[in-house]
Amino acid sequence: MNPPPESAPIRLRLGLRPSLLSADGQELALSRKDAALLAMLAVEGACAKDHLAAMLWPDADSQRSRLSLRQRRFRLARAAGVPVVVGEDTLSLNPAVVTQLQAFDEPGDAWPETELLGSQTFDDCPDFQRWLQGARPAWRRRITTRLEQHAEALEAEGRLVEALALARRLAEDEPLSDRAHRRLIWLHYLRGDLGRALGEYKAFCDRLAEELGELPDDATGELVARIRLGEFSDAAARTAPSDAPRQWPFVGRDAELGALHQAWSDRRPMLVEGMPGIGKTRLIGEALRAQAGCCCLHVPVFAGERHRTYAVLARLLANLWLGPSALRPQGHLDLPDWARSELAALLPELHPKRQAELRPLGLQRALECALSQAGPDLVVIDDLQQADQATLELLPALSRPGLPPWWLVCRKGERPAEIDAWLQASPAPQVIELQPLDQSAVAVLLAHASPHSAPNGSAASILRSSGGVTFLVVELIKAMAEGRMPVGDGTPQGAAHFIRSREASLDATARQMARTAAVLRAPLTAAAAAAIWDTAEAPWQEALRHLEAVHWVDAQLRMHDLVASALYEALPQAERRALHARLAAWMEREGHPPADAAQHHEAAGQPAQAAPLFERAAAEAARACRVAEQACFQRSAAEAWQACGRHDESFEALRASLDPLLMGLGAEAALPVAQQMLAQARGPLQHVQAHIALAELDNHLGRYADADARAARVQPVAQSLQDVDACIQLGAHRAYALVSLSRLAEATEILAQLEPLLEKATPLVRKEYVEAQAVVCWRAGQLGRCAEYTQTALDLQLACGRWAGALVQASNLAAIQTLRGRFRQADELLNASLAWRDMLGPLEGHTVAGLDTVRAWIDIGLGHAADALATARRALGFYQGASALDRIAAHATETLARIHLALGQVDEARAVHAPLAAVLLPVQGTRGWLLAAAIERAAGGDAQPALDQAASLAAQASDTRLLQLRLAAERLCSGREPPSPADLAAVEGQALECEQDALAARLAWHRVGVLLDRGDAAAAAELARRLLDSPAWPEDILPCHWQWLGALTLQLVGDAQAPVWQQRAEAALARTCQDLQGGWPTPAWPRFAHLQAAVAAWPAPTDRLSACPAPDRAAPAVARGAARGRPGDGTGPSRPRCRRATAACRAAHRRSRVSGRRWP
């Protein structure tokens, strides 16, 4: 059979009723499978035969599915008179077969349907069904694009009736498309039917308002505005306007554009800064326009969102999945259930069972999952200076490989502190600061607008008047074209002059809307304006379109900063205040965040209405553990109460701001507030409460004598007032000060006197009493009782629902357990506290630094080196740029240096330790010099100068007992001469008396090494067995090292447990080295690595131990007997063999001394 002639191809229709139109004009209806086969080939171009067969006949085996496919091809060829599908292993459509996408514009052809295979479903072919769901949007776009091209061609040819019919078809297919309705409006206008054009526009506005609650985009609004203004009245110019408003040339930004192109290639975060109107957003748009197929998620930030927790993240998710312009419509349905549940805390519509509380760690993981699944190439946040603190703090964690980079746009001089902190980290965003345009760039813009009519010197005059700000340059060029700007006289003109002159040309409603938007400083819809002014909505819709036409508001209804500032400054004070008051009342009615309404009440001169709203905002921030925001709102409330003469409420608001300030920013930041409380105090009770706050801060600042004197002076006043809470608080602060001054007995007596009052005290005051008791026990060396009191304080925090306080108490309890050598229990405690941490917002300031320091110390005690380093560095990062180290910063620095030292990274430890040399606080300074001694000893240097410095500072401390204990321990471990076992045992005993079990274990393991070095293997083995069975692990020694020494000691005496501990040491070493980027520790403890030679000198136990079975845990007595070599049991080594082990140790010691090597 001959194929049909080329002039009469076979037409393939793939709409609701798929069919083939043969060469002889006969229409052949296609079955479901035939249509599916041809649809895949039409869309994909070519497909593998086996793949097609498997998709269309999934239930058949490969042989039967290929047979079915062959039969389909045969029937199609017979019906069409020509092979419709060609190829062997790879199939495609016959070139004679054309779809309507290719040939619909031929005479007699109907316009193609945009839906691929109509509404047909293929439930019996699930793989094909999934393919079809993905192919339909792309097919629809191809058809629509082809129809639009045809409509443009018809319009160019003057076939307006046909073009109008096609435009109407496009508008019907996409009833909410601005692009389609813009063409329809334009074609009505070209045909001379202005009424029909405006009628279509009104109908489109009504449809958008009814279905989406939105207005047409700025391009459609501008087209109608220009039509109304008669800009297209020249009948000869019958060409459609572009889809976007007229674009000015992009000039003067070549270097910045190149930097963004490079950042796009490197997937690097960027920060673009500049003054308002300089062209920041335009720069981002031009950079992205050059990236073909870029999938960008744009997130604008609006005024007032700085104090709305996670407001920007909520908009990010909405722009990603929800609404008509979502980047991935309904894409959240593909997320795991747990991720949708976490994100629903921000957007409840994402999951019916959302989390009751925001859980920042879970939220971060869910956001990472969402961004990975949605796959945008880039996320742009515009007007970053208005973003909320919670979102800003989360950005660095979301900027990592595998996630889209962040491009941030910020107003110059208003960069948030959280972004400053990110810029100090690595990898940090690259900063681009836009400068004003120069005269050559202004000349290019002027030539674009007025190629022949601009007077000489116009560019220079415009540059002087505008300062090179792009927005002002454009406004001045427009003003010049309209005859509103005198040029050539050199008189500078401010932005406000031209903006106000344009405002005067607006009608009354548009002018009122512009002023309302300028005061609101947030997107203002027509519906919102109608609600604010209690009028009909229609006039406001027209006013909004007018503001869009003059480019005062953008597509998101945001007013330009320069316009808003000029209009706001021009408002008379009475009118400005009235507008603020009206906006505040509207916000309260509509349920806006209380802080937004409070700020408008405050600007309206209504402090009595603002203060309660600020307190509501503070309560919301407290529930999310946003301590900086909480303190800020409380202080704003205090100022508002003070402004309206309500001094008691102002005092209480100041008092409520102290705890969040202390937790987030430290005692130095809280001190001025406490002093302000004292200045505002009225009456004896308020004076007492102010002094309580100052006494607490004196203790935090190390001014213990001042705290004691203050509390003692005020105590009689509190007693005369019979205020139980005040009496307990003053006593607790005084006890804390006294114990810090080494007056332990007085502190204990004061707390004993307070105990009868506890029944009448509030839970939080009882917590303060218990915390003071814990400090007394700490200083008394009673860590067990200290742990009990800390546990009670933790229980009280949990009972009051104070999760942040509970987290701090849990960390304190974990720190106590580490001093007792219970690193595993401390780890379990912190892991359990993660449930409380997830209920809070991202922690801030000293709190998170202190928590991370404890976590790092636990990790290195367990041998998790990589985690310990990362956590300690994060803790220390909070203090980057600080002029001096406070108590917590010094502790974080010491922790990181000790981690490096334990890993054998001496140079790194020395570099980290360097800032501690400048610390003058007695306790922290002493510990710093003790660490310096250990570093010098590890480097082979002389530790004595550092030990002398430590002794000098320790003598200045108020409580020297524990410092002197640590000094004595370090003298033994880092001194010039090897210590004696008796000296080590003596200091070890002192440590045990103070319940410093981790320090005692460190000294005991040193004693094991010294005993081996002296040749006393039996005594060393006896001590090692006790230490290996003890729950207390040593500080400053990696588990792999003390387990190595224990295994070596047991091996030297032929103990059956030696292989077990050797395996544990090897496993601990592998765990320590995991994820470390270089700087791996040695298998042997460097301090006693020379003892390894003792094993080589004694060959017998190695063979003997290799034949020993693993110890039977079910028979501990037998195993212990074997380990200790009891005579007559046939399991342990004989006495002569122990003597040979001792001799080998002594020989190794002699060799080390002969070689000149000092005892390490």
DSSP character for 305?
Answer: G
pLDDT at 662: 82
Residue 239 and residue 381: Cα distance in Å, rounded?
36
Query: In what order do the strands lie in the sheet containing 85-86?
Result: 47-48, 90-93, 85-86
Across 264-367, the runs of DSSP E, i.e. the strands, are 270-274, 296-300
- The more confident residue out of 770 and 1098 is 770
244 is written with which tokens?
């976007």
627 is written with which tokens?
């301590």
Is the predicted pLDDT of residue 205 greater than 80, yes or no? yes
Which residue type is seen at 1101?
Answer: P
Mean pLDDT of the chain: 80
Residue 866, CA distances (Å) to 647, 857, 1076, 1078 in order? 53, 12, 5, 10
Residue 1038, CA distances (Å) to 328, 863, 910, 1083 in order? 50, 6, 19, 10
Q: To which H or E segment does residue 617 belong?
A: helix 607-623
Nearest-CA neighbor of 1015 among 1141, 1142, 1140, 1135? Answer: 1142
Between 470-481 and 458-466, two packed helices, what is the crossing angle to 10 degrees? 130
781 is written with which tokens?
């060396």
Phi, psi values for residue 707, rounded to 5°: -65, -45
Q: Is 65 exposed, middle or buried (0-12, 13-18, 19+ CB in 10 A)?
A: buried
Give buried/exposed letters for 1001-1012 (b at 16+ CB in 10 A, else e).
bbbbbbbbbbbb
Q: Which residue has the tokens 């408003």?
A: 245
- Predicted confidence band of residue 579 (pLDDT cuts 50, 70, 90): very high
CB 1051, CB 1095: distance < 8 Å: yes
Q: What is the CA radius of gyration of the chain?
A: 39
Helix boundaries (H) for 800-864: 803-819, 823-837, 845-862
Tens digit of each residue's pLDDT (9 = 90 or more) over 263-289: 988 889 999 998 887 888 888 888 888
Nearest-CA neighbor of 773 among 760, 756, 757, 754? Answer: 754
Phi, psi values for residue 97, rounded to 5°: -95, 120
Is the predicted pLDDT of residue 1022 greater than 90, yes or no? yes
- The more confident residue out of 407 and 481 is 407
pLDDT at 1127: 30
- Predicted confidence band of residue 837 (pLDDT cuts 50, 70, 90): low
Give buried/exposed letters for 680-699 (b at 16+ CB in 10 A, else e).
bbeeeebbbbbbbbbbbbbb
pLDDT at 667: 83
Tens digit of each residue's pLDDT (9 = 90 or more) over 852-903: 889 999 999 999 998 899 888 877 876 654 555 567 778 888 999 999 999 9
Is the predicted pLDDT of residue 485 greater than 80, yes or no? no
Residue 351 and residue 229: Cα distance in Å, rounded?
49
* Total count of residues recorded for the chain: 1160
CB 394, CB 313: distance < 8 Å: yes
Beta bridge partners of 591: none
Is 683-757 the same fold as 573-678? yes
Residue 550 sits at the vertex; the CA angle it makes with 549 and 552, to the nearest 5 degrees, is: 110
- Longest pairwise C-alpha distance within the chain: 121
254-433 is classed CATH 3.40.50: yes
Residue 782 and residue 775: Cα distance in Å, rounded?
10
Beta bridge partners of 299: 381
Domain layout of the chain by residue ranges: 10-137, 254-433, 439-493, 573-678, 683-757, 781-841, 997-1160
Percent of the chain scoring above 70 in pLDDT? 83
Residue 600, CA distances (Å) to 115, 305, 592 in order? 51, 14, 12
Q: Which residue has the tokens 């106590």?
A: 816
214 is written with which tokens?
């939105």
Is the predicted pLDDT of residue 45 greater than 80, yes or no? no
Give the CATH number of domain 573-678.
1.25.40.10
CB 889, CB 879: distance < 8 Å: yes
Residue 611 and residue 598: Cα distance in Å, rounded?
7
- The more confident residue out of 11 and 367 is 367
- The dihedral through the CA atoms of 290, 296, 300, 305 has a sign that is negative
CB 953, CB 975: distance < 8 Å: no
Give the CATH H-level superfamily of domain 683-757.
Answer: Tetratricopeptide repeat domain (1.25.40.10)
Is the predicted pLDDT of residue 455 greater than 80, yes or no? no
Cβ-defined contacts of 179-182 (< 8 Å, 24+): 179/148, 179/243, 181/216, 181/220, 182/219, 182/220, 182/223, 182/243
Residue 260, CA distances (Å) to 280, 285, 429 in order? 12, 11, 12
Query: In what order do the strands lie in the sheet containing 19-21?
Result: 27-29, 19-21, 10-13, 97-99
How many other CB atoms sit within 10 Å of the CB of residue 435?
13
- The dihedral through the CA atoms of 833, 664, 735, 752 has a sign that is negative
Sequence-separated (6 or more) residues with CB below 8 Å from residue 771:
732, 789, 790, 793
CB 772, CB 758: distance < 8 Å: no
- Predicted confidence band of residue 1113 (pLDDT cuts 50, 70, 90): very low
Tens digit of each residue's pLDDT (9 = 90 or more) over 243-270: 334 467 888 889 999 999 899 888 899 9
Q: Which residue has the tokens 């109460």?
A: 641
Is the predicted pLDDT of residue 8 greater than 60, yes or no? no
Residue 875 and residue 858: Cα distance in Å, rounded?
14
- Predicted confidence band of residue 553 (pLDDT cuts 50, 70, 90): confident
pLDDT at 879: 63
- Predicted confidence band of residue 850 (pLDDT cuts 50, 70, 90): confident
- Predicted confidence band of residue 606 (pLDDT cuts 50, 70, 90): very high
- The more confident residue out of 685 and 220 is 685
Residue 922 and residue 963: Cα distance in Å, rounded?
9
CB 725, CB 768: distance < 8 Å: no
Is the predicted pLDDT of residue 842 greater than 80, yes or no? no
Tens digit of each residue's pLDDT (9 = 90 or more) over 1046-1080: 999 999 899 999 999 999 999 999 999 987 877 78
292 is written with which tokens?
């073909």
